[in-house]
Amino acid sequence: MIRWGRETGGRVRIGFDREKYLALQSHHIEERRRQFGGTLYLELGGKLFDDMHASRVLPGFTPDNKIAMLATLRDDLEIVVVISARDLARTKVRADLGIPYDADVLRLIDGFRSHGLYVGSVVISRWTDDNHQARAFKRKLEKLGLRVYRHFPIRGYPNDIPLIVSERGFGRNEYVETSRDLVVVTGPGPGSGKMATCLSQLFHDHVRGISSGYAKFETFPIWNLPLDHPVNIAYEAATADLDDVNMIDPFHLAAYGVQAVNYNRDVEIFPVLNLLFERILGVSPYKSPTDMGVNMVGYCISDDEACREASRQEVIRRYFRALVHERREGLEPVESGRIALLMNTLGITRNDRPVVGPALRVARRTGAPAAAIELPDGRIITGKTSPLLGPSSAMLLDALKALAGIDHEVKLLANETIEPIQDLKTRHLGSQNPRLHTDEVLIALAVGASSNPDAQRALAELHRLRGCDVHSSVILGPVDEGIFRNLGVQVTCEPVFQTKKLYRPG
């Protein structure tokens, strides 16, 4: 398999045309607005201003691409955030950030406002009066000055169409008062109730004689790429826990004679949606689930092979992530098994991740945990366990030295700097591991930078670690994992615990 480095000839290999996307996507949304001639409810799936998956599989697609595109429409746009009362009750956590959904709603609102976008309200879907968490969250939002609307469960949703499209169905929901013509409906994760909120609004608008329409803005799967394209397969890997499967849209093929890729849930629900549109609007505006979408990403790929290779690497990362999750939770290897099948389809193995082999070789040679990082120019730096440093910390220091052009033998942290920190940890803070974690190393490095020019030069290279790949021979603890996440480093681990202890702090 050909492997493209993240830099070629000193330049990052870009596979996606960001500027073309911003122009083309905003223009297409404007066209869809004109199609309906009134309010357009735009259901937005996936991440809006932190789409890390898209940025990994489409090099050049920045995590804030979608928000930057929507910012060009800000004068006509408002945002409605939807969260499910059920997710509030079970304190559902966003896996990539490690924060509960209620906190993510607040984070999303802050993020939208920081980009000059207007957040009109919050909808709490699947509302029941006995859900104390939902009631408390509603009070909290209202005290923060936000309008909150309640949408209720509908028995038989989405199949009992006569009930759904009635005063006992959508008619029970509180109507979301909006003031702009483009309403983006988003939420902290799948199952929030975004589509149901849009359909409920269409029903209420129709009753009020207001012209409105619906469209879906979801990046993946990319409808105009082949079913077996690595970018689309990477999406399957990312949603393996949901049992999503990409498939050819049969409705689009029947209507237009053109193959388009969609995923099973949208294809399965389309006949019901079509009937809902007919009942609400009188006639359905769409002939296929692909018709509902406004995604122009596929037209903006500028280097197909760069995106293919980035996607293959993402599938391997997802595989390791699934293995670790199953190990931590004591689960059967269902998710990892699905991703392994996708890897077979792509003709790749776990060893096609360049940092895996070096990390495992060091671990075998030393008989202790080890880690490896691939730098932007393709160099691989390893770190081993020592009395003073854990492998991630040692690797991090050596990587920064390599990036700064500092000789490998130079010590950025003297023993007399590390030992007092170890003493503090073990004697006063109750730590049983005297080795410095990555956060402690970075703090010590920052303190030393005032008097040590080498430490100062090393710290100046931290930003170049963003997007680098790391592999650890053992499951990382929460501290090291969090530091790497904050640095933008893409980490995978072997599904092996460092110790045999049963209790492991979260």
Q: Which of 295, 312, 305, 302 is nearest to 351 (CA)?
A: 312
- 281 lies in some domain: no
Question: Which pLDDT score is estimated for 500?
Answer: 63
Distance (Å, whole) CA 197 – CA 81: 10
Pairing label, strands 370-374, 380-384: antiparallel
- 28 lies in some domain: no
Question: Which pLDDT score is estimated for 8?
Answer: 39
Distance (Å, whole) CA 343 – CA 323: 14
Q: What are φ and ψ of residue 127, in 5° steps?
A: -70, 135
Q: Which of 353, 445, 354 is nearest to 404 (CA)?
A: 445
Domain coverage including residue 205: 38-214
- 27 lies in some domain: no
- 469 lies in some domain: yes
Question: Which pLDDT score is estimated for 12?
Answer: 60
- 335 lies in some domain: no
- 78 lies in some domain: yes
Q: Which of 461, 496, 252 is nearest to 360 (CA)?
A: 496
- pTM for the full model? 0.87
- 455 lies in some domain: yes
Distance (Å, whole) CA 387 – CA 437: 12
Q: Dump the DSSP string for 430-499.
A: --S--SBPHHHHHHHHHHHTTT-HHHHHHHTTGGGGTT-EEEESSPPPHHHHHHHHHHT-EEEE-S--SS
CATH of the domain at 191: 3.10.630.10
Q: What is the pLDDT along the chain (506 residues), one digit of tens a residue?
A: 333 344 433 446 899 999 999 999 999 999 999 999 889 999 998 777 778 899 999 999 998 888 999 999 999 999 999 999 999 999 988 766 678 999 999 999 999 999 999 999 999 999 999 999 999 999 999 999 999 999 999 998 888 999 999 999 999 999 999 999 999 999 998 889 999 999 999 999 999 999 999 999 999 999 999 999 999 999 999 989 887 789 999 999 999 999 999 988 889 889 988 998 998 888 999 999 999 999 999 999 999 999 999 999 999 999 999 999 999 999 999 999 999 999 999 999 999 999 999 999 999 999 999 999 999 999 999 999 998 889 999 999 999 999 999 998 998 887 777 778 777 777 767 776 778 889 988 988 998 888 899 999 999 999 999 999 999 999 999 889 999 999 999 999 999 997 665 444 54
Q: Which of 214, 240, 260 is the endpoint of a domain? A: 214
Q: Report the domain count for the chain.
A: 2
Q: Which of 199, 214, 229 is the endpoint of a domain? A: 214
CATH of the domain at 494: 3.40.140.40
- 344 lies in some domain: no
Q: Which of 190, 214, 238 is the endpoint of a domain? A: 214
